[in-house]
Structure 1
Amino acid sequence: MRPLADLRILAIEQYGAGPFGSVHLADLGAEIIKIEDPSTGGDIGRYVPPYQEGEDSLFFEAFNRNKRSISLDLSTPEGRAVFEDLVRVSDAVYSNLRGDVPAKIGITYPDLKHLNPKIVCCALTGFGMTGPRSSEPGYDYILQGFAGWMDLTGEPTGPPTKSGLSLVDYSAGLVAAMALVSGVHAARRDGVGMDCDISLFDTAISMLTYPAIWNLNGDFEPQRTHHSAHPSLIPFQAFPTADGWIVVACPKEKFWRRLTTAIGRPELADDERFASFAARRRNADVLVPLLEEAFSTRPSAEWLAELRAVAVPCGPVNSVATALEDPQTAARDLVVETEHPRFGTVRQVSSPVRVGDERPDYRRAPSRHEDGPDILSSLLGYDERRITELDGAGAFGKGLA
């Protein structure tokens, strides 16, 4: 059995943050039942271009493999009744909505505990379920600006810059997954469920880590750095070479001494201007141009070979395509395949979560309501007459039963 094979989660989720958290739980064996709103055509991720047709998109595939789907209109009494029956036989309700919405639509622990005292209600929202911004919508790029990330990213003379990936979304999704699993563990131990209140804002602020503690306890003012340099360790940044870019890192003194040998300047190791972390930071305006000049003389591949030979931490600045073709990517089974009725064989990245020796099986993302009939009959025990009545009352949308 997969590690989470005994875990059933009702996921009222959309786009990236929520689905990113639950897809890793699905890969670990959890039964993720997506509750998709028929009035909006289900998860809005189904309609994200450029690779999109009908209710299918490669964006949706990336976040929803190994899950199940039922189309359910929670605004109707009949749809709500089905949802409540599902709550009775599930471990958790997981959502990513605006902070004031879970209470409005009745999916918090106080709303559901009478159905299942052990239910865990995990809400991943933009700004949390409390505070003056709880009713504001929150999206990754907005939060990157809100939490100071964009002020820290980019060249010093350039504009504030977002990360190339939705890192607030993905990080918050993982935090929510951890909270949910922890909540279920406690509920099984104590017999009582709970609310888990996770937000993009909280996650983004917490990830400020050491710049935050420096700012809160000293006069440190975080600023953008030249060529993505570390704010305090020198050298630890990207350097242009004769044909591209490499990243070189010296987070220990031994690496700095090895680097001076690799670039043919061993005398720099004992130069008092560069003899310690603090000295190199004080004299970065002298040291960095020396290193940039050295690295510009040879191609990236030659420098990487030279640096690796003396065990200096380094790496290329790859394109996405090159990163996906790296031998380490293949060795770690990080690209997997699923078969899709519209897109054929779909190649995508796997989950990094590894528990034990067994590798997860990967199944394509479900079409909307694909699993509805089985969930209604096998899991809930509804007979054909009951399902037809619910369908006629609009519980599933139109013509899906």
Structure 2
Amino acid sequence: MRPLEDLRIIAVEQYGAGPFGSVHLADLGAQVIKIEDPRAGGDVGRYVPPYAEDEDSLFFETFNRNKRSVSLDLATAAGRGVFEQLVAVSDVVYSNLRGDVPEKLRIRYDDLKHLNPRIVCVSLTGFGMTGPRKQEPGYDYVLQGLAGWMELTGEPDGPPTKSGLSLVDYSGGFVAAISLLAGVHAARRDGVGMDCDVSLYDTAVSMLTYPATWHLNAGFQPVRTHHSAHPSLVPFQAFEAKDGWMVVGCAKEKFWARLCQIVGHPEWAEAGSPYATFASRREHSSDLVPRLEAIFRQKTVDDWLTRLYAGSIPCGPINDVGAALADEHTAARNLVVTTDHPRYGEVRQLASPVRVGDETPTYRRAPQRNEDLALVTEEILGLDAQQVVALRAAGAFGDAEPAHGANTPDTPDSLDTTATSR
């Protein structure tokens, strides 16, 4: 068995943050059943441009491989009934919605424990289910600004800058996955489930880490640094070579001593030098860094990296995305995987970095919307054909669907996603 093959997750999820968290669990064997709102055309991620056609998009493929899909209208009594039957035979209800929506949808533990006392209800929201911002939708871009990330990113004389990736979304997904696994472990041990109130805001603020500790205890005021320099370790930053950029870092004194030899200034590491220690290099960084910059501009990136690698000094080129994907180490770690797709033929995407044991994960394309209705109704719930016909007639599966984006009473406002992904 794969590590999580005995785990069933009902995922009321959409877009990026929530699906990013659950895709790693699906890769590990968990049965992740996506509940897609038929009145909204399903997960909005199906329509994210530029690589999208009808209900297929490469964005959606990225976050939903190895999952199952069923269209279920939770606003109808019949749809709610199917959902509750799933709760009774599942381990987790997992969602990424606005902070006040889990209560409105009645998907918290107190709403569901009568169906399954061991159910774990994981809610990844923008700002949590408590606090003055709980009703606000949380988007990665907004969170990066609110939590101080953008103020810390970019050149000192430039504007506040967003990370090139939606790191709040993705980090929030990982945090939700960790909370989910911890909750299931406790529920199986104790026989009692719970709510896991996870938020992008909490994630973003907690990732301020040691600069926050410095500020809280010593009044430290973080500032943007030249060429992405480390706030305390010198040198540890991006340097421009003759034909491109690279990162060079001296996180230990032994690396600094080796670097001094390579750049032709062994005396910089000697006792009595103003650059001899961590503290003195930081104090004299305005003098030292320009001298290093002038030296590094004299040779190509490859020239320098050859020397730096030989000296076992932390370093690397600043690649574009294509170069990163083509790196021989990317191939060696089996980070690019393929799935077969009815529209795209073969889809190449990235493997999960989560590794458990030495078994190679298997990958299946993301599901078409409502592709797994029979799996859910017949195999999991044991319903017969007449029962399914009756449920369909009662609107459980939303067969009479408006065009995507129609402004029905419960979408998009009450089912607002917590986050987008760039």
**Under TM normalisation by the shorter chain, which class is it?**
over 0.9
- Indicate the residue corresponding to 1:30 in structure 2: 30
Q: Aligned runs of 1:173-192 on 2, under 5 Å?
A: 173-192=173-192
- Indicate the residue corresponding to 1:288 in structure 2: 289
Equivalent-residue separation in structure 2 for 1:287 and 1:3 (angstroms): 51
The residue identity in structure 2 corresponding to 1:193 is G
Q: Which of 1 and 2 has higher RCO (CA within 8 Å, sep 6+)? A: 2
Question: Per-residue deviation at 1:199?
Answer: 0.2
Partner SS, residue 392 of structure 2: helix
Q: Aligned runs of 1:193-232 on 2, under 5 Å?
A: 193-232=193-232
Q: Do the aligned residues in 1 keep the contact of 2:267 with 2:273 (CA within 8 Å)?
A: no
Question: Per-residue deviation at 1:373?
Answer: 1.5
**In the alignment, does 2:66 pair up with 1:85?**
no
- Superimposed CA distance per residue, residues 288-308 of structure 1 (whole angstroms, 9 cap, x where no aligned partner): 001100110011011011100
The residue identity in structure 1 corresponding to 2:364 is R
- Indicate the residue corresponding to 2:376 in structure 1: 375
Q: Do the aligned residues in 2 keep the contact of 1:258 with 1:310 (CA within 8 Å)?
A: yes
Question: Per-residue deviation at 1:265?
Answer: 1.5
Equivalent-residue separation in structure 2 for 1:394 and 1:367 (angstroms): 20
- Indicate the residue corresponding to 2:144 in structure 1: 144
Equivalent-residue separation in structure 1 for 2:194 and 2:51 (angstroms): 39
Question: Per-residue deviation at 1:264?
Answer: 1.4
Equivalent-residue separation in structure 1 for 2:360 and 2:75 (angstroms): 39
Q: Aligned runs of 1:123-142 on 2, under 5 Å?
A: 123-142=123-142
Question: Per-residue deviation at 1:5?
Answer: 0.3
Equivalenced residues, count: 400
Equivalent-residue separation in structure 2 for 1:272 and 1:212 (angstroms): 32
Partner SS, residue 328 of structure 1: helix
Q: Do the aligned residues in 2 keep the contact of 1:92 with 1:119 (CA within 8 Å)?
A: yes
Q: Do the aligned residues in 1 keep the contact of 2:120 with 2:180 (CA within 8 Å)?
A: yes
Structure 1 unmatched ranges of 5 or more: none
Question: Per-residue deviation at 1:397?
Answer: 1.3
- Indicate the residue corresponding to 2:419 in structure 1: none
Q: Aligned runs of 1:2-21 on 2, under 5 Å?
A: 2-21=2-21
**4+ aligned runs moved over 2 Å, structure 1:** none
- Superimposed CA distance per residue, residues 149-185 of structure 1 (whole angstroms, 9 cap, x where no aligned partner): 0000000000000000000000010000000010000
Q: Do the aligned residues in 1 keep the contact of 2:176 with 2:198 (CA within 8 Å)?
A: yes
Question: Per-residue deviation at 1:393?
Answer: 1.4
Identity percentage of aligned residues: 68
**In the alignment, does 2:89 pair up with 1:56?**
no
- Indicate the residue corresponding to 1:277 in structure 2: 278
The residue identity in structure 1 corresponding to 2:196 is C
The residue identity in structure 2 corresponding to 1:11 is A
Question: Per-residue deviation at 1:272?
Answer: 2.2
Partner SS, residue 121 of structure 2: strand
Structure 2 unmatched ranges of 5 or more: 402-422
- Superimposed CA distance per residue, residues 262-289 of structure 1 (whole angstroms, 9 cap, x where no aligned partner): 1112121125211111100010000000
Equivalent-residue separation in structure 2 for 1:374 and 1:257 (angstroms): 63
Equivalent-residue separation in structure 2 for 1:344 and 1:122 (angstroms): 35
- Indicate the residue corresponding to 2:316 in structure 1: 315
The residue identity in structure 1 corresponding to 2:365 is R
Partner SS, residue 127 of structure 2: coil
- Indicate the residue corresponding to 2:358 in structure 1: 357
Question: Per-residue deviation at 1:399?
Answer: 6.2
